[in-house]
Amino acid sequence: MAINILANDGLHPAGVDMLEKAGYNVILNKVTQSQLIEYINDNDVSVVLVRSATKVRQDIIDACPGLKLIGRGGVGMDNIDVDYARNKGIHVVNTPAASSDSVAELAMAHLYGMVRFLHDSNRNMPLDGDSKFADLKKHYAKGQELKGKTLGLIGTGRIALAMAERAVGVGMKVIAHSPSGQNKSVSLSFFDGQTIEVTIENVPMGELLKTSDFVSLHVPKQPKAILDAKSIEKMKDGAAIINTSRGGIVDEEALLAAIDSGKIRYAALDVFENEPTPAIKVLMRPELSLSPHIGASTLEAQARIGEELAEAIIEKVPN
């Protein structure tokens, strides 16, 4: 009898194809959180795959004795009671490497857009481009180049290092901070097969904040903000912040206050304190470059996530 897999937040066709060829039954129905326990038990589901929308907490784990594996398509697993599930003998897996390039490229896209005010000009050109062209041209004429600037990375995981590769390629100086205190190296690969190794120096947090033109966060969910009012005050005047990591690690109130005072010139947010209903005062600020938590949402990343989850299921829950 085929093992039933509920991909409650969807699964790329590449992963579905791998699993079905291996004899698994993949269910792509979207089940509401309140009906999840009943659905899992009624349909003899052994594997539940989620992204960020569905939560698998202790209540589900206790009420669904047939569960053998919980899979998270992505990096963070704060929507799963991981330790509790593992203590119950349930496998818990994620796909930490699959979306690194996608998130890093989004962070760089925000960075490129901010320094030339594209996030704001794309709002105003459709409104006033035909009547106030000269005014807009003057307004957006004080952009910056990335080459020669310093990027400070908070965190030195896969995504941070993927961003470091791209920033070094642009000609930026890249420094980082992580509790390990260890320097990291990144390898830049070129179209003709050449590679260059570059060392990313690990510096104290205070030094990173003081010397970085741009600070990008790449850390797991935290119990409190990393960049709060006190930390932001230590930053270089006119610096910028990029957060494609987790909502809540940048204090949004403190960020807006720093923008008002001129301490922070602009910031990019892909994640928010209150998802999926970010604060209106955040959404309306022209100094903010915004996206709706799409860091890992590329066609390539979704295919890799699907394939990695399929491989983990085939290995750990053989049909």
Concerning whether 293 is annotated as a catalytic residue, the answer is: yes
- Three-class SS state of 290: strand
Among candidate residues 20, 105, 273, 293, the one labeled active-site is: 293
CA distance 69 to 8: 13
Rg (the chain; Cα; Å): 22
Backbone angles phi, psi at 209, to 5 degrees: -65, -40
264 vs 150: CA distance, rounded Å: 15
What's the burial of 124, exposed, middle or buried (CB within 10 Å: 0-12/13-18/19+)? Answer: middle
- Rounded to whole angstroms, the Cα distance separating 28 from 318 reads 20
What's 283's DSSP letter? H
Amino acid making up residue 20: E
Q: What is the DSSP string of 150-202?
A: EEEEE--SHHHHHHHHHHHHHT-EEEEE-TT---EEEEEE-TTS-EEEEEEEE
Q: Which residues contact 234 (CB under 8 A, 6 or more apart)?
A: 206, 209, 210
Given the residues 145, 201, 275, 300, the one annotated as active site: 275
- In sequence order, what E strands does the chain have? 4-7, 25-27, 45-50, 69-72, 91-94, 150-154, 173-177, 184-189, 195-202, 214-217, 239-243, 264-269, 288-290
Per-residue CA distances from 283 to 89, 125, 277, 292, 308 (Å): 43, 18, 10, 11, 35
Q: Choosing from 246, 265, 285, 304, which is the catalytic residue?
A: 246
**What is the CB neighbour count within 10 angstroms for residue 132?**
14
Q: Which tokens hold the place of 40? A: 């899992």
Partnered with residue 197 across adjacent β-strands are 187
- Tell me if residue 275 is catalytic: yes
Q: Which residues are catalytic?
A: 246, 275, 293
